[in-house]
Amino acid sequence: MSESEFLLPDVGEGLTEAEIVSWKVAPGDEVHVNDVLCEIETAKSLVELPSPFEGVVDRLLVTEGETVEVGAPIIIVGAGASGAAEVVGLDNVIEVDELEVQASTAGAGAEDARAAAAEAPATTLIEREGDEPKPGAVLVGYGSAGHGASRRRSQNRTPAEGRHVPSAADLVPAASATPVIAKPPIRKLAKDLGVDLAAITGTGIAGEITRDDVVRHASQASVFRNIETPEWSDEREERVPVKGMRKQIASAMVRSKFTAPHVSVFVDVDATRTMEFVKRLKESTTFAGVKVSPLLIMAKAMIWAVRRNPSVNATWTDDEIVIHHYVNLGIAAATPRGLIVPNIKEAQSMSLLELAHALEQLTLTARDGKTPPADMQNGTITITNIGVFGMDTGTPILNPGEVGIVALGTIKQKPWVVDGEVRPRYVTTIGGSFDHRVVDGDVVSRFVADVAAIIEEPALLLD
């Protein structure tokens, strides 16, 4: 009997081990090229592993929740209806190491996907017949064999078309008996965000619900949607292993807190004009379909303030201070798997519209758990938007390797003195933490004051 053994690959970040979070297949299931076999959790993200061959699942060699080393066998696929486990030919695959390419090229044609993964090294698997192992084909990323979101390929999709046509596998009956058309990743995103797909009108092909539809619907609800108090567990204690992303976060925070001497400052700001500016941008045809929020103005304010106070945009190396004359702007993002800090590369060169697009894409990718390792490297300064959680202020910990992090608090109406009179104004608190080895109190104060000046009067950005 011919069968193929799939080895856990290194997904492009120097991985030595990973946890099998969930299996998407079971023994007896038929799988095709690019069908998702399982999800694994690395130290930085949640990654889907696609199948590089066709056949029938024979055995799962690893249980959910188990951590295994790279190169260890995790699944065996046996002969399918054709009598053999068919490994895809080189004309129909993409050699790929970073599986996040699969997410970034979803919906693109095979030619575009090849270009996205052209420089990635191949990850090998072993095909065997009986007990004789031998080198086999490469791990498939996202190729012309079809969409890898479900186990069974849609018969309505032609590879050359390069796009997904909704099929019966994507239909989920709604309570109203009207079918909801959504791909499996979109259904997972909706579940994570607590969104009812039946309440959404899809804007995609044939009424298909898109990622933007789900995110837009979720943003209309309060951050604190769940007002129900859960019952106590029957177990008196719960023990959560420290591994994966949580272990990485803990290590980074301890290293930052006890290496860099933090100094923090805070200032209250009248953000009324920023709120008015955001409203005008939302009504502008130029920004139609683009998510606009006070965070966008905050990002621009940070870039403006960095140019006036360049020493806060630096790195301490023990031997020297490296001041960066560019801004890779980090945005602290709370995801279902934990805190990550992806950054927008060369943010100082972006227009306000370009920056809005970049912020939106960063947020969507982080929520999907598809942020590639490269997007979390080489940041120069960070924003943490604690206002979305209803917090007025806080003392953030520096992202390791950076000198400054600024926190934007909630923006809400408060009594404020204007021209000697108390008036209701939109007020926020801007705070930040800085590495006192690099910057002194006067520099820190000037920098935060400059950020506050833009939030108070965004017209200064036009200078």
> Which amino acids are annotated catalytic?
436
Using CA atoms, how far residue 385 sits from 228, 264, 280, 453, in Å, is 25, 16, 22, 18
Quick check: 330 and 371 in contact, CB under 8 A?
no
Short-list 303, 304, 308, CA closest to 330: 303
Cα torsion angle, 106, 108, 112, 114, sign = positive
- Euclidean distance between CA atoms 3 and 78, whole angstroms: 4
Short-list 380, 384, 402, CA closest to 393: 384
Compute φ and ψ for 36, nearest 5 degrees.
Answer: -75, 125
- Euclidean distance between CA atoms 322 and 85, whole angstroms: 54
Quick check: 418 and 437 in contact, CB under 8 A?
no
- Beta carbons within 8 Å of 374's beta carbon, 6+ residues apart: none
Paired strand residues for 384 = 407
- State the distance between the two ends of the chain, measured CA to CA, in whole angstroms: 73
The token pair at 326 is 């560019």
